[in-house]
Amino acid sequence: MKKISVSLSGHQTSISLEPEFIDALHEIAGVQNRPVGAIINEIDKTRGRTNLSSAVRVWILKNVSS
């Protein structure tokens, strides 16, 4: 597991993800020409009660072939 530090609504936090998910997140961010932090903020705003790390993993799985 690796940690990614991000600012969510002005508060620093970190999420733990497997290296493969971090690599995929960076790859998708590059393809979409968006910062990783912006993607995680978007996921955070729409995740409901789901754990943020889990929500990020699901988002990656849904977007890996986009």
Is the predicted pLDDT of residue 65 greater than 80, yes or no?
no
* 11-48 pLDDT, tens digit each: 999 999 999 999 999 999 999 999 999 999 999 999 99
Is the predicted pLDDT of residue 66 greater than 80, yes or no?
no
pLDDT value of position 64: 86
Helical packing angle, 36-46 and 19-32, nearest 10°? 100
Answering whether pTM is above 0.85, one says yes
Is the predicted pLDDT of residue 63 greater than 70, yes or no?
yes
Give the span between the Cα atoms of 10 and 57, in whole angstroms.
23
